Structure 1
Amino acid sequence: MPKNHKILVRTPNWIGDHVMAQPFYSSLVKAYPQSEIHFLSSEALSTFDDSSFSQAKKILPKNIKGLGATFFLFAKELEKEKYDLALSLTSSLSSSLLLRAAKIPLRVGFAQGGSGLFFTDSIKWKGIRGNKHKSEIYLDLLNFITGKQWALSGKKGGGKVNTETRDKRIVLAPGASIALRVWPYFGALISELAKTYTDYEIAIVGSFTESYWHAEIERLKLTHVKDWIGRTSLVELIALCRSSAVVVANDSGVAHLAGTEAGVPTVVIFGPGDPAYIRPLGDEVYLETPVGLACHPCEKAYCHEKYGYQACLLSISLDKVISRVKAILPL
C-alpha cells in the first residue's frame, strides 16, 4: 500500500484496551509516516488525548443503536472521507459491517463470530489463547498488513517515585467495568489508608457509573479523602494520577491510565484476569494476584467455580495490599 493513503482505525471500545493498543498506534504511524490517520472510537473514549498518534479522531454518535437508520447514515458520513484502508482492532460484526457499508476498499481486522465476512483480509482473533500480551496481539495485525515484525517499544513509566516532585496524594480506584473484578476489601482499604497517611490526600476516582461509592466516602467524614468519582475527564484523570505518589486500582481502565499513560507507581489487584495477557505495561506496576487457585486465571465475567464467588479476590488480603503501599511509600 502506498505510504500516503488515508487510514481509518477502529479502536477498541474499552479504556484499558485502548491503552494497550498504543504500541499499535505508534508503530502504525512509523509504518505509514505520510498517511493521514483517523481514529474511530467509542463515546467512552471521547476525552482521551490521541493527538500524538492521529491528525483527527472521530467519535461514534451517541444515537447509533443497533443496525438502524443512524448506523447507515454514519456509514455514509465515513464514505465521504474516502478512506483507502480501514483497520479494526475490535472483532465485532457491527464494526466490520460499518466499514463495509462505508465502502472502504481495503478492510483488515480480527475475525471472530462472523466478522471476517465483511473484511477484505483478516486474521483470527486468538485472545488469551494467543499466549501473549494483548498489546502484542494488536501488533500482529500490523505485522500482517506490512509483512514486517513490529515489537513492543519501551514501556512508558515515570521511573522510581520521587516524593519531592509528586504531590502528597494517594489515588484509589475502587471500581471496574466488570463487577467480578472489584476487590471486596476496597472500602476497608480507603478507611485504613486514610488513617495511616493522614498528611496525604486520598483521592477516590472512577466513572459516573460507580456513583454508589459516594455514600461510602461520605460516611468516612475525613477532610483529606476527596471524592472525584465521575468528576474528571480521561485527560484530567491521567494528570491527577501523574502528579500523585501512588495509585491502587482493580484490573480496570484506571490501572492502565495510571501505570502506562501516567507512569506512576501503580498497585493492580488482579482477580479473574490474567496479568500475562492484560497487565498494564508501565515500568512501576506492582501486581497483587491470587495464589494456589486452580480456577485462576479464568478471564471470565462471571464466577461459577466450586471455590466460591470471587475466591480469587478474597484470597488477596487487606494487609497484603497495605503492605505493598507502605513499601512504595514508607512511613
Structure 2
Amino acid sequence: MGATRQILVVGPSWVGDMVMAQSLFMTLKAAGPCEIDVLAPGWSLAILERMPEVRRGIAMPLGHGQFGLGIRWRLGRALAKTRYDQAIVLPGSLKSAFAPFFAGIPQRTAFRGEMRFGLVNDMRRLDKAALPMTVQRFVALGLPAGKPLPKPLPRPRLVANPANQARLRADHGLDAGRPAVAFMPGAEYGPAKQWPLPHFAALARELVAHGFDVWVLGSTKDAPAGEEIVAAAGDGVHNLCGRTQLGDAVDLLAMSAAAVTNDSGLMHVAAALDRPLVAVYGSSTPDHTPPLSERVAVRYLRLECSPCFARVCPLGHTRCLHEITPASVLDALVSLGVGARQNAGEAA
C-alpha cells in the first residue's frame, strides 16, 4: 500500500453541487489511501461535516465574485504547509485556480475554463455530450484522464447528527409521534423553478388529514412562502424557514418520512439522505442535475417550451409548474410508500 495522498478540492458555490461533489470524494477514497480537504464557501462547512470522506472543510475567506488576489496568495501560502499532492478545482473560474497555484501543489487538475493555462497543469477537455451530468464531470476529475467512469457512480450519502436532531425536536416543538413530510418551496434561481404555493398548501392539507405533520424548510428568504403555506393549510404545518441553519436542515430532512421539493440545493440534500423524494421540475430539467437516489419520483411535464432555464417564465404562464397538480404529487408519494397513511399509528 502506497503513501497516503493529500488532496485539496476547491469546491463549488451551490448547495446541490456541493452535495454531488461527495461522489468525487468517494471515488478518490476508492482509488487508494488519501486525505481530502475541501476549500469552499463558509456556508458549506456544515454539509462537509456530514461527509465521512472529508477530513476538514476550509472556509474560503472571500465571497462569491470577489477577486482578492492578495488574500488568495496568503491563503495559498498557508495551504502550502500541508504539502498537498494534488488539487482538483471544480469551478471553472480563473480565480478559483489561484490558491492551489500559490500553494505550489504539484498536480492541479481541472477542466479548461477561463484562461487558466499555467495555473492548471492537468488540464482536461470537457466533452459535455459524453458527460452531460454535473456529478459525472466531478467524478471524472478524480480519475486519470480518459479513464471510464465507475458504474454505477457512487451516490452521495450524508450522515446526520443525532444530538442535533434531538435538540431540534425540543427547540421547535416537533412531535416525535407524528411522521413528517418536509416541503422545500424555495428556489434560489427564480420563480420559474418554484411549484405554486397554493399547490404546496393543498398537498399539506391532504397530508395532515392522513396523519402527517409538514415541516417547511428553507432560508430566511423562504419564510414568507412558509407563512403562506401555513396560513392556507392550518394546523400540523410548521414553518421552519429562517429558523434553522443549513446543517439543521440536513438533520431535519434525515428525520423526515419524505420530502417534496423544487429543483434546489435541498433537493440534493434529501436525496443524499435517501429520503423518499418527489422532485418538481419546471424551467430546468432532471436530465442534467437529477436527484441521486433510487427513491425518487420526478414530476416534469416536458412541455414544448421547456426546459427554458429562465429565472422567470418568458411566456408569462409557468404552465410547466401550474399543471403539476397536488393530486399528482400525492400519487407520487403513495408510489414511494408514503402518503396513504390513515393515522399516526400505522407505518408510513
State TM-score, norm by structure 1: 0.84
The match for 1:231 among 230, 237, 243 is 243
Alpha-carbon distance in 1 for matches of 2:186, 2:45 = 20
Question: What is the CA distance between 1:272 and its match in structure 2?
Answer: 2.2
1:314: which partner in 2?
322
Alignment pair present for 1:85 and 2:86: yes
2:77: which partner in 1?
76
Alpha-carbon distance in 2 for matches of 1:176, 1:95 = 25
Deviations 1:134-161 (A, max 9, x none): 222212112335956433346578xxxx
Question: What is the CA distance between 1:282 and its match in structure 2?
Answer: 1.0
CA shift in 2, pair 1:315/1:219, >3 Å = closer
Alignment pair present for 1:193 and 2:204: yes
CA shift in 2, pair 1:126/1:27, >3 Å = same
1:137: which partner in 2?
137
SS in 2 for 1:83: coil
Give the gaps of 5 or more residues in structure 2: 158-175, 343-348
Deviations 1:42-79 (A, max 9, x none): 12212112441022221112568322433332222222
1:160: which partner in 2?
none
Alignment pair present for 1:179 and 2:190: yes
Partners of 1:23 and 1:139 within 8 A in 2: yes
Alignment pair present for 1:203 and 2:215: yes
Partners of 2:27 and 2:154 within 8 A in 1: no
CA shift in 2, pair 1:282/1:107, >3 Å = same
Alpha-carbon distance in 1 for matches of 2:145, 2:277 = 35
State TM-score, norm by structure 2: 0.80
SS in 2 for 1:46: helix
Question: What is the CA distance between 1:87 and its match in structure 2?
Answer: 0.7
Alpha-carbon distance in 2 for matches of 1:301, 1:110 = 26
Alignment pair present for 1:271 and 2:279: no
Alpha-carbon distance in 2 for matches of 1:271, 1:194 = 23
Question: What is the CA distance between 1:213 and its match in structure 2?
Answer: 2.4
Deviations 1:237-295 (A, max 9, x none): 22222222220000011111112x2111100001122212211111211100023x233
CA shift in 2, pair 1:258/1:196, >3 Å = closer
CA shift in 2, pair 1:303/1:117, >3 Å = farther
Deviations 1:108-148 (A, max 9, x none): 11212324552001113455x44533222212112335956
The share of aligned pairs that are identical, in percent, is 23
Letter in 2 for 1:66: F
Alpha-carbon distance in 2 for matches of 1:8, 1:133 = 23
Alpha-carbon distance in 1 for matches of 2:6, 2:112 = 23
Give the gaps of 5 or more residues in structure 1: 158-164
SS in 1 for 2:218: coil
Question: What is the CA distance between 1:218 and its match in structure 2?
Answer: 5.5
1:286: which partner in 2?
297
Alpha-carbon distance in 2 for matches of 1:191, 1:308 = 23
SS in 2 for 1:175: coil
2:167: which partner in 1?
none
Alpha-carbon distance in 1 for matches of 2:283, 2:219 = 21
Letter in 2 for 1:177: E
CA shift in 2, pair 1:257/1:227, >3 Å = same
Alpha-carbon distance in 1 for matches of 2:156, 2:80 = 36
1:44: which partner in 2?
43
1:161: which partner in 2?
none
Letter in 1 for 2:307: P
Alpha-carbon distance in 1 for matches of 2:14, 2:205 = 30
Alpha-carbon distance in 2 for matches of 1:121, 1:46 = 27
